[in-house]
Amino acid sequence: MTITLSNLRKLTIERDEHKRSPVYKKQSPKAKKAIDDVMTMLAKTPSKVLTTFPKIIKDVAKKYGVKPKDIETYFAKETGLTI
């Protein structure tokens, strides 16, 4: 399968798509870095998202000094689901 320019453009746009949302833009700089880190970690292991999600949130929150509840709230608002 060959990759066309339009397919390549779609791949690069989707990777950082979360940064354009209004919910993301309202976050503090620390929270934005934490969310970016969570998204990168989730992208590394897409098959194990459900099992690793709570641990990733806990680890990233500790690393950036953000409350885990703040990260969970961001994802709940983005997806429209309650955690």
Half-sphere exposure in the Cβ direction for 5 (13 Å, CA): 0
Euclidean distance between CA atoms 59 and 3, whole angstroms: 36
* pLDDT score for 69: 95
* pLDDT score for 44: 84
Q: What is the mean pLDDT of each run of 10 residues along the chain (83 residues)?
A: 57 69 92 92 82 91 96 87 62
Q: Greatest CA span in the chain, whole angstroms?
A: 44
* pLDDT score for 4: 64
Euclidean distance between CA atoms 17 and 12, whole angstroms: 9
Tell me, yes or no, if the pTM score tops 0.85.
Answer: no
* pLDDT score for 28: 93
* pLDDT score for 10: 53
